[in-house]
Structure 1
Amino acid sequence: MKLDYLQALKRVDEARGVWILHGQEPLLEQNVLDALRKSWTKHEVERQRYDLNSVSDWKTVFNALNSLSLFSQNLAIEVHGNIKPDANGLKQLKHYIQHNEQNLLLVIMPKQDSNSLKSSFFQLVEANGVVVPLTANYPQDRQRILSNEADQLGIQLNQDAWVWLEQHHEHNLLAAKNSLMRVADTFSDQKLIGIEHLQECLQDQSRYSTFDLSDALISGNLALSIKIFQYLEESGEPNSLILWTISKEMRLLMQLYEQPQNALQLGIWKNKISIYQQSLRRLNPHAFLNWPELLLRVDAAIKGLSKEKPEYLIQQCIAELCGKRLFAF
């Protein structure tokens, strides 16, 4: 079964079996993941996360799916990466689908090309589970998605304001949502938002976005990257979304190092392949060994599970991506 983003949001409580989320829209991915995680907490579902670095990691995933802790009745396995299971993994996946109806295997992947979507893995999941493309290719799709965000904030935009918002952010949904949050806070007593409200609120508040941070990181510009991070922090950008941006770039670089011929399949846009290749030549691959642990430390700090300051760890991540090191591990 194939569901679009809004349909998937409505069915998170029913999520069982196998789901695949794939795309390049961080807002859509984060919203679906947040909704699923809230549902798991509500229904006392045990959650585990795994990152795929090689095809053999699928064995660990399937072993986990067959084992529950003594305190859990249901399990959700969250898998991040762009590596499909091999023939043996597909057999295990079929067995899981046939014999395990209560647990959930959730696979989060970057944007897939047409050949990948025709693979045995995607065909098996689409026939027996759920595939959710996290895309918003047309203006009407983006407006539907952002209208849903506006509804949750208790505001509405007139049609001229929608047109202005999309042009202002050049189809960047995450930046557009942040603008909706800002205008809702600024004009809390105004239910219908027009262009004049957006202009007054945003004209000097949209200098940088997480997309600018990605570009600066991959270019290795440490000073600009730190400047953008500080701007985003001062502008109220959630640390979780900044971490998502950094994590995405780290994982893309690690995957490209392992699969240098598969840049397009990894979700890297064609016009940016050379920039990522230059970034790899600038970096020391031995540093990659520290990155997963560093990302986990940032995540724990953001969630208040450690005494470390997330802003310091994020700056360490930024420095690592730029080929520098601010502090010792």
Structure 2
Amino acid sequence: MKLDYLQALKRVDAARGAWVLHGQEPLLEQNLIDAFRSTWQKQDIERQRYDISSVADWKTVFNALNSLSLFSTQLAIEVHGNIKPDASGLKLLKSYLQQDSDNLLLVVMPKQDANSLKSSFFQVMDANGVNVSLVANYPKDRQQILSIEAEKLGIKLANDAWQWLEQHHEHNLLAAKNSLMRVADTFAEVEIIQIEHLYACLQDQSRYSTYDLSDALLNGNLLQSIKIFQYLIASGEPMSLILWSISKEMRLLMQLFEQPQNALQIGIWKTKVSLYQQALRRLSPQRFLTWPQLLIRIDAAIKGMSRENPEHLILQAITEMCGQTLFASQHA
């Protein structure tokens, strides 16, 4: 059986047999594991944890599943790792699943690729266990998940505040939850949280992020962009992350220039389309010809593969995106 995160949350109390959780959303993984542990505690279910470092470890897991302690009637075994059972392990898994046991095997794995999801282990889980994919690919799903988090904190957000929150965190649910916690503490008396509350609260951190740099670049604000860049460097932000942000915006602008009607399809937020369009009107298409090579040079400089100064090159990229030129000549 395949379930998504929200479906899985509703079935935690009655979970038996074997479940596998996999994905790249730490908030969803932690919430589900916390829900399981809370249920086990309430129901006096003995819990054991195993970390799989080799295929042989699976034999230990299945031996434990079949041997209750004198003081337990039910057992929950939590397994963490990215190593799937081999043929003999799968035989033990199938045997366990056929027993109709009240015990629970909970396997927690990182994100799996398409080939892994077609493996024998996942085929057995799909047919006889529960397979939970910890993803939230659509805005509606992410908002629903974060709405539950907001409800736990006792706050409500206006519709456009939800859009702003997701845009600000670019799909990072854990970071968005942390912001909800911060705004709940800061504006405890406010009935409906608006964008200005989120903005004021998050800006109160007195620091800039790469998202602020992206906004300043798209607005063509050179002085603000340099200020934010200098702050990020001084606060120890990885140069590779700064490059990633600049590279993403450059590539989106180049793609939008080639496909002006496909803004949403190439990954630009609906609320930001006009900002990218304004940036395109400000920039000369000839500039785009130099950008790919400049990004390659920055990457090489960061990795120590050239003698160029990565900070100087990033400053050059910032001025390019703001429609200005750092040097009189590109080769100066």
Same fold (TM over 0.5): yes
Structure 1 residue aligned with 2:47: 47
Q: Distance in 1 between matches of 2:177 and 2:206?
A: 12
> For structure 1, which runs of at least 5 residues remain unmatched after alignment?
210-222, 226-277, 279-329
In the alignment, does 2:68 pair up with 1:56? no
Structure 1 residue aligned with 2:173: 173
Task: Classify the secondary structure of the residue corresponding to 2:94.
Answer: helix
Task: Classify the secondary structure of the residue corresponding to 2:111.
Answer: coil
Relative to the length of structure 2, the TM-score reads 0.62
Within 5 Å, which residues of 2 pair with 1:129-140? 129-140=129-140
Which digits, 9 at most, give the CA deviation of each residue in 1:151-203, with x for residues without a partner?
A: 11111111110111011111110010011111111111112110011011111
Q: Which moved more, 1:21-30 or 1:131-140?
A: 131-140
Q: Which moved more, 1:197-206 or 1:180-189?
A: 197-206
Query: Match of 2:2, as an amino acid?
Result: K
Q: Distance in 2 between matches of 1:67 and 1:224?
A: 51
Task: Classify the secondary structure of the residue corresponding to 2:171.
Answer: coil
Q: Distance in 1 between matches of 2:206 and 2:70?
A: 49
Q: Distance in 2 between matches of 1:206 and 1:146?
A: 25
Once the 2 structures are TM-superposed, how far is the Cα of residue 67 of structure 1 from its aligned partner? 1.1
Greater Rg by CA: 2
Task: Classify the secondary structure of the residue corresponding to 1:193.
Answer: coil
Contact between 1:3 and 1:131, CA under 8 Å: does it hold in 2?
A: yes
Structure 2 residue aligned with 1:36: 36
Within 5 Å, which residues of 2 pair with 1:291-310? none
Q: Distance in 2 between matches of 1:161 and 1:129?
A: 39
Query: Match of 1:134, as an amino acid?
Result: L
Tell me the number of residue pairs that the alignment of Structure 1 and Structure 2 aligns: 213
Q: Distance in 2 between matches of 1:133 and 1:80?
A: 15
Q: Distance in 2 between matches of 1:172 and 1:62?
A: 36
Query: Match of 2:64, as an amino acid?
Result: A
Task: Classify the secondary structure of the residue corresponding to 1:73.
Answer: coil
Structure 2 residue aligned with 1:260: none
Structure 2 residue aligned with 1:96: 96
Structure 2 residue aligned with 1:6: 6
Structure 2 CA distance for partners of 1:49 and 1:97, relative to 1, 3 Å: same
Structure 1 residue aligned with 2:141: 141
Query: Match of 1:23, as an amino acid?
Result: G
Relative to the length of structure 1, the TM-score reads 0.62
Q: Distance in 1 between matches of 2:144 and 2:206?
A: 22
Structure 2 CA distance for partners of 1:75 and 1:89, relative to 1, 3 Å: same
Within 5 Å, which residues of 2 pair with 1:155-304? 155-205=155-205
Once the 2 structures are TM-superposed, how far is the Cα of residue 100 of structure 1 from its aligned partner? 4.2
Contact between 1:154 and 1:191, CA under 8 Å: does it hold in 2?
A: no
Displaced runs of 4 or more, over 3 A:
206-209
Contact between 1:20 and 1:108, CA under 8 Å: does it hold in 2?
A: yes
Structure 2 residue aligned with 1:303: none
Task: Classify the secondary structure of the residue corresponding to 1:68.
Answer: coil
Q: Distance in 2 between matches of 1:27 and 1:206?
A: 25
> For structure 2, which runs of at least 5 residues remain unmatched after alignment?
210-234, 238-302, 304-332
Query: Match of 1:173, as an amino acid?
Result: L
Q: Distance in 2 between matches of 1:71 and 1:100?
A: 21
Structure 2 residue aligned with 1:122: 122
Once the 2 structures are TM-superposed, how far is the Cα of residue 208 of structure 1 from its aligned partner? 8.9
Which digits, 9 at most, give the CA deviation of each residue in 1:217-270, with x for residues without a partner?
A: xxxxxx959xxxxxxxxxxxxxxxxxxxxxxxxxxxxxxxxxxxxxxxxxxxxx
Structure 2 CA distance for partners of 1:15 and 1:207, relative to 1, 3 Å: farther
Structure 2 CA distance for partners of 1:50 and 1:199, relative to 1, 3 Å: same
Contact between 1:19 and 1:125, CA under 8 Å: does it hold in 2?
A: yes
Structure 2 CA distance for partners of 1:100 and 1:208, relative to 1, 3 Å: farther
Task: Classify the secondary structure of the residue corresponding to 2:107.
Answer: strand
Query: Match of 1:158, as an amino acid?
Result: A
Q: Distance in 1 between matches of 2:136 and 2:53?
A: 28
Q: Distance in 2 between matches of 1:176 and 1:207?
A: 17
